[in-house]
Structure 1
Amino acid sequence: MDGRDASVPGGVTIYEVARRAGVSIATVSRALRGTGPVAADTREKVLRAVEELRFTPSRAGVSLAEGRHAANGIVFPNLSGPYFAEVLIGYEEVTSELGRSVVILSTKGREPVRDLVRELAGRVDGLAVFGSTVPGDVVGELVASSLPLVLISHAPRPGAVTLRSENSEAARALAIHLRGHGHRRFVFLGAPYATGDDVDERWQGVRAVLGDAVEPVATAEYTVESGYQAALALLGGAGRPEAVICSDDEVALGVILAAERLGLSVPHDVAVTGWDDIMAARHARPGLTTVRQPMRELGAQAARALDRLIDGAGLERSHRTLGTELVVRDSCGPHPPGGQ
């Protein structure tokens, strides 16, 4: 390819800057973007060459010269709901700051997922994948292809950078808090569907504290409507649980609506908890006891990690866990003695 294809017609190209500075075009790119491992003296040579040649870099030209797309891909199971929206906002904001665009793939209702993901992988410089959205064998293919890969809300995986919010300890703290209220019959609503995913970790943490006193009950999806429909049956029958521990805030809000429909009081007739601390949880009546996780920061860190992988910088840690926090409000009743 002619070097002048990498910039505006007739203009100075990134190839000429690289030759003048005596470095590779990848080094020029990293120096201009301010990311990646570039020594101070090397950066100075690049900037001097840029000034001498009066080079005006374009993102498209730099990417073309490097054989790149200037775009990252991100794969979600579903783009509806506040949780995914927050993660995506954090991801997109950082990606935009880094001079890249984002190609989004939502797999809900789309088949075949394998082919869609493979096709996307061929159009981007790196890929972020949420949870267990992509089948394990396809993730294995992506790892084997050496495509820069970040797995969000995922257990450690060799060959990929993984990050997730902490689940187990926060779930234990939540269960201890509920038990401190004197509750003895519990349901975990929104049962885990994949071993080792975030909801499964929450379930395992709750069960470690409550043992046989807690029963898992599945919902069709992790949504308000699914929580509502499941809770109508759960709370309207015999043997009503004293506390419903929900997989996320949307399911919990559905439970609160169902309790109201059935003429039950939260928390006097049934306690309800959620997970995520979305905006609606803070303004619900009663206020929802939940676990706050840094949703937007999860997306932001994924974007930064993927950018470093694309630039060849690597990462000191291949797995990161972001902290979470138990947030006690009114949906469990008055605070128990001892402040648990």
Structure 2
Amino acid sequence: MMSNGATSPVPTIYQVAERAGVSIATVSRAFSDPSKVAPRTLDSVLEAARELRYVPAAAARALAVRRSKALGVVLPHIDGPYYAELLVGFEVAASELGLSVVLALLNPQEPRHLSVLDLLGRVDGVAFMARSGALDDTVQQVADVRPTVSVARGQVEGVDAFYAENRTAARQLTAHLIEHGRRRIGFVGRLEEGSDIGQRHVGYLEALQDAGLTPAERFAVDPVEASGVEIAEHLLAIDQEETSASDGEIRRAGIAGLDALVCGNDELAMAIIARLTSAGVDVPGRLAVTGWDDTVTARYLTPGLTTVRQEVAELGALAAQRLAALIDGDTAQQPVTVDSNVVLRQSCGCVPVPAPALA
């Protein structure tokens, strides 16, 4: 199935071998037993296969047989609550449709192209989740032979795309920090083109521009707990140096030149808050911190985490339902965006509303 409805000649192993400058035996071995192929040669074969959109014989044969009644999901990892919730939403919706789910986690140490091609022979369609899960040309190659959707990543031409709204909510969240008087606002998260965190960064920049403010430091880190701890340690180390240089004077505002941090997800924000508060830093007094995802822990953290709630499970469910529809013959549709909403708690400086007194 071509994503644009057109047909094209099926590339052969001979064409891959010619383009890579190797024998057909080497091409065959690259796909069947890559550990026996020299790394540079393997890269050449995989690059040629990507350019030609070649599908190995085993996967190609599987494309011709009856349906497997399974949907494939490609993820970079399932660490943290976001991917877990996304996957649960997808799996529940697939189960309700009588379909199973085959998950492919792409190990950074293995050739990504091989993992995805191996998946093709076992599923009827594939959902690519997150920008780091696969390169665009790999998504396009799969879309040429299997129904395909993408979730929380930049759209590939001809591939149905699903997003949670990021840009507007990030703009609102940053503007709220500015309303609290914050002026030196940093951003935490690695930017990938078309990614959720990339769009959040755009909204953050727009809010600063609206207020005539300059972006403070950006910490380009992966959205995991360990990165949050590292950033907190970095801030504490700088703060200690600055405090020592001022003869022990206690600074009452800001830490390490910042008075607020917009974090790419809750996992980063919660790790930063936990480490800073354990070191005696007043959050939000000296540093306001916001997250994203509204995980369960966010509401029980002290201070409660100001964050953004998005219906992640709904996003996964919609992707599964759409993928099943494509398998049944539906045509591509416009991208689907699920709403997100800012949730205000104490970590931004808001005062909690007292619970009503019992009668």
TM-score w.r.t. structure 1 length? 0.75
Q: Which residue of the other structure, out of 334, 339, 356, is the alignment partner of 1:318?
A: 334
Kindly indicate whether residue 304 of structure 2 is the aligned counterpart of residue 306 of structure 1.
no
Structure 1 residue 240, shift from structure 2 partner: 3.1
AA aligned to 1:278 is: T
Name the counterpart of 2:89.
Answer: 90
Name the counterpart of 1:207.
Answer: 205
Structure 1 residue 185, shift from structure 2 partner: 0.5
- Give the CA RMSD over aligned residues: 2.1
AA aligned to 1:95 is: A
Instruction: Judge conservation of contact 2:190–2:222 (CA < 8 Å) in 1.
Output: no
Q: Which residue of the other structure, out of 325, 328, 331, is the alignment partner of 2:344?
A: 328
Q: Give the Cα–Cα distance (whole angstroms) in 2 for the partners of residues 277 and 284 of structure 1.
A: 11
Structure 1 residue 314, shift from structure 2 partner: 2.7
Alignment of 1:25-104 (within 5 A): 67-104=66-103
Over residues 310-336 of structure 1, what are the superposed CA-to-partner deviations in whole Å (9 max), with x where a residue is unaligned? 011235x33100000000000011359
AA aligned to 2:72 is: G
Name the counterpart of 1:244.
Answer: 261
Q: Give the Cα–Cα distance (whole angstroms) in 2 for the partners of residues 266 and 110 of structure 1.
A: 39
Over residues 285-317 of structure 1, what are the superposed CA-to-partner deviations in whole Å (9 max), with x where a residue is unaligned? 1110001111100110010000000011235x3
Q: Which residue of the other structure, out of 292, 303, 313, is the alignment partner of 1:275?
A: 292
Kindly indicate whether residue 165 of structure 2 is the aligned counterpart of residue 166 of structure 1.
yes
Instruction: Give the percent of matched residue pairs that are identical in Structure 1 and Structure 2.
Output: 39
Over residues 176-233 of structure 1, what are the superposed CA-to-partner deviations in whole Å (9 max), with x where a residue is unaligned? 10000001111101131x1221101100110111145323533542112211111210
Instruction: Judge conservation of contact 2:188–2:221 (CA < 8 Å) in 1.
Output: no
Shift in CA distance, 121/318, structure 1 to aligned 2, threshold 3 Å: farther
TM-score w.r.t. structure 2 length? 0.72
Instruction: Judge conservation of contact 1:219–1:226 (CA < 8 Å) in 2.
Output: no
Shift in CA distance, 291/268, structure 1 to aligned 2, threshold 3 Å: same
Gaps of 5+ in 2: 1-62, 243-255, 353-359
Name the counterpart of 1:225.
Answer: 226
Structure 1 residue 139, shift from structure 2 partner: 1.3
Instruction: Judge conservation of contact 1:186–1:215 (CA < 8 Å) in 2.
Output: yes
Q: Give the Cα–Cα distance (whole angstroms) in 2 for the partners of residues 108 and 221 of structure 1.
A: 16
Over residues 245-300 of structure 1, what are the superposed CA-to-partner deviations in whole Å (9 max), with x where a residue is unaligned? 10000000011022123310111111000001011111111110001111100110
Q: Give the Cα–Cα distance (whole angstroms) in 1 for the partners of residues 294 and 107 of structure 2.
A: 24
Aligned residues: 271
Name the counterpart of 1:256.
Answer: 273
Q: Give the Cα–Cα distance (whole angstroms) in 1 for the partners of residues 344 and 323 of structure 2.
A: 35
| SS of structure 2 residue aligned to 1:127 | strand
AA aligned to 1:255 is: I
Name the counterpart of 1:24.
Answer: none
Kindly indicate whether residue 137 of structure 2 is the aligned counterpart of residue 137 of structure 1.
yes
AA aligned to 2:272 is: V
Shift in CA distance, 159/141, structure 1 to aligned 2, threshold 3 Å: same
| SS of structure 1 residue aligned to 2:216 | strand
Instruction: Judge conservation of contact 1:242–1:270 (CA < 8 Å) in 2.
Output: yes
AA aligned to 2:216 is: E
Q: Give the Cα–Cα distance (whole angstroms) in 2 for the partners of residues 124 and 131 of structure 1.
A: 19
Shift in CA distance, 230/189, structure 1 to aligned 2, threshold 3 Å: same
AA aligned to 2:141 is: E
Instruction: Judge conservation of contact 1:191–1:203 (CA < 8 Å) in 2.
Output: no
AA aligned to 2:179 is: G
Instruction: Judge conservation of contact 1:114–1:135 (CA < 8 Å) in 2.
Output: no
AA aligned to 1:121 is: L
Q: Give the Cα–Cα distance (whole angstroms) in 2 for the partners of residues 262 and 219 of structure 1.
A: 23
Structure 1 residue 126, shift from structure 2 partner: 0.1
AA aligned to 2:100 is: S
Structure 1 residue 65, shift from structure 2 partner: 11
Structure 1 residue 109, shift from structure 2 partner: 3.9
Structure 1 residue 66, shift from structure 2 partner: 7.2
Instruction: Judge conservation of contact 2:190–2:223 (CA < 8 Å) in 1.
Output: no
| SS of structure 1 residue aligned to 2:329 | coil
Q: Give the Cα–Cα distance (whole angstroms) in 2 for the partners of residues 279 and 157 of structure 1.
A: 33
Instruction: Judge conservation of contact 2:139–2:156 (CA < 8 Å) in 1.
Output: no
AA aligned to 2:140 is: G
Instruction: Judge conservation of contact 1:164–1:320 (CA < 8 Å) in 2.
Output: yes
Gaps of 5+ in 1: 1-63
AA aligned to 1:131 is: A
Deviates most, 171-180 or 215-224: 215-224
Instruction: Judge conservation of contact 1:189–1:219 (CA < 8 Å) in 2.
Output: yes
| SS of structure 1 residue aligned to 2:227 | helix
| SS of structure 2 residue aligned to 1:213 | coil
